[in-house]
Chain A
Amino acid sequence: MASGLTVAVRGLTKRFGDRAVLHGLDLDIAPGEFVALLGRSGSGKSTLLKVLAGLDRDVTGEFTVDGKVSVAFQQPRLLPWRRVWRNVVLGLHPVVGKDVALAALAEVRLADHADAWPRTLSGGEAQRVSLARALVREPGLLLLDEPFGALDALTRIAMHRLVESLWLRHKPAVLLVTHDVDEALLLADRVLVLDEGRIASEYVLGHPRPRELSDHIDVRTQVLADLGVNERATA
């Protein structure tokens, strides 16, 4: 398959019984590219992410992923019996020293929580630890499965900035699965809309960063229409 790509998917099909959730899906992601994947619920966004993460192997079609893969899920999924820094080094095989964890935690500004138990963290803090765990692996591909969905609005805004700065520093290819159109337009180089098991439409966003919500108003209307949401003309 074509080299030079971090992700190359050809004709990927995933069936649950008679229903094909993914139906001959093609997808390329270049190294360091930030791709957002939108779709209605049940459109197979999370299924695609699971396949790329190696969590679902019961598929047909071909795909290659170049480099390590990390996932940050909607819930942080920290091991409650491991202190924060030990949760971070879970991302590495074999387990390494605390200094590596501290460096990763410093990047998400949680170095002073290294010895805390996960239960003492707020939702946003736990999600940042989850990001540190994902990034400490230096992944070629970072999969984000609605990682901000469970956070309050203020924390979410801060997380957007954080993810963008971490991405700019580490430059992994990112596939962000979300149902938040604004989030996608704020962060992604390219926005994909998944429908009927395939990539139905694609928008390349050229606006320099950091972006404002108003930067891609035109695209926003189209994407929403793709998702079946028709905004009223009177705004």
Chain B
Amino acid sequence: MSVSTLGAPARADSAPPSLTVKKSRRKLPDLRRWISPLVIVALWQIACETGLLPPDKLSSPWTVLQSGIELAGTGELGDAFVVSTTRVGIGFGIGALIGIVLGIVAGLSRWGNYLVDPPVQMLRTLPFLGLIPLFILWFGIGEEPKIALVALGVAFPLYLNVHAGIRNVDSHLIEATTALGYTRSERLFHVVLPAALPNTLVGLRQSLGVAWLSLIVGEQVNASSGLGYLINNAREFLRTDVIVVGLVVYAALGLATDAIVRLVERRALRWRAA
């Protein structure tokens, strides 16, 4: 045998692409995807100006924009924004804490799984938005029922994904670190939690979507402040422009929080990016 290449595998090394791929991917967004949305907005504007769409059914995009600027100027929109965002923030915090802690408990310990999983799975099948009447009886009509509704909606997707993430950890990696002398808690930190991170982030995105949905529903039912109040109030006066402004802000908030999670995902999951 005359092998002189000690250990060097007989194939090209795959190091360089990691740099070049990154650069070539940063292209400009494809402008062709903007054509149809812009056409739809233009048609909407034309329909309003020709009287096809009366303003008490739907205001024109231009009116909506002007109302938005006006509401922002008076501070009404800003106040409503802060109130609604606070509700989601607190509700999300509580729900995420419950979902993640229960998910870890059920994922890590056999008894945790026996005791925690069945009731959570049963409660999960309840249409939680249908709990609003009970929540009003329990918590009154202040901030509490809205926050509770958001928290409840958030907890389930996070629980399910954290639980699944922990359950699906590759047992070979656990064995490899055990052989290196890692204790149970070290394995939790170095192997189990990082392995569960991708699922957890999926759960985070789902639960943020549910959080905004829960808030919108909660604020429709009763509210004396916040974006939902702004919308309901506008309905009384047939102000479709204000309603659309409220909806646009809801949508923007949902998109913004989703974008934040996607950013976190890109940073935290670089190791598995294709």
Contacts and interface: CB of A to CB of B under 8 A. Distances in A.
A162 B6 contact: yes
B172 A73 contact: yes
Contact of B6 (A79, A118, A122, A161): A161
Contact of A158 (B7, B176, B190, B272): B7
A95 B156 CA distance: 37
Contacts of A213: 1
B271 A157 contact: no
Contact of B15 (A108, A116, A128): A116
Contacts of B137: none
Given A90-B180, A116-B15, A158-B9, A81 B271 contact: yes
B110 interface: no
A65 to B, nearest CB: 12
Contact of A113 (B1, B15, B176, B180): B15
Contact of B172 (A77, A118, A133, A212): A77
Interface string A108-120: 1100110011111
Given A75-B172, A90-B180, A90-B190, A122 B7 contact: no
Given A55-B175, A212-B1, A79 B194 contact: yes
A154 B10 contact: yes
A53 B1 contact: no
Nearest to B10: A154
A213 B178 CA distance: 36
Contacts of A159: 7
A118 B270 CA distance: 11
A101 B197 CA distance: 26
A99 B13 CA distance: 22
B233 interface: no
Given A79-B194, A119-B272, A154 B9 contact: yes
A80 interface: yes
B5 interface: yes
Nearest to B176: A77
A117 B271 contact: yes
B189 to A, nearest CB: 12
Interface string B253-274: 0000000000000000011100
Interface size class, chain A? 35 or more
A102 interface: no
Contacts of A232: none
Contacts of B11: 122, 124
Nearest to A128: B7
Contacts of A80: 271-272
Task: Give the interface centre of B9, B13, B194, B197 by most chain A CB atoms within 10 Å.
Answer: B9
B90 to A, nearest CB: 31
A116 B18 contact: yes
Interface string A81-122: 111000000110100000000000000110011001111111
A158 B1 CA distance: 12
Contacts of A157: 1, 3
Interface in A142-193: 154-155, 157-159, 161-162, 165
Contact of B173 (A79, A83, A91): A79
B6 A158 contact: yes
A79 B197 CA distance: 13
Contacts of A112: 15
Contacts of A196: none
B179 interface: yes
Contacts of B176: 71, 73, 77
10 contacts: A55-B178, A73-B175, A77-B176, A91-B180, A108-B7, A119-B272, A154-B9, A158-B8, A161-B7, A162-B6
A-B residue pairs, 10 tightest by C-beta: A162-B7, A124-B9, A77-B176, A154-B10, A71-B179, A81-B271, A81-B194, A158-B7, A155-B9, A53-B179
Interface of B: 1, 3, 5-11, 13-15, 17-18, 172-173, 175-181, 190-191, 194-195, 197, 270-272
Given A71-B176, A117-B270, 7 more contacts: A79-B173, A79-B191, A81-B197, A93-B181, A112-B15, A119-B272, A120-B14
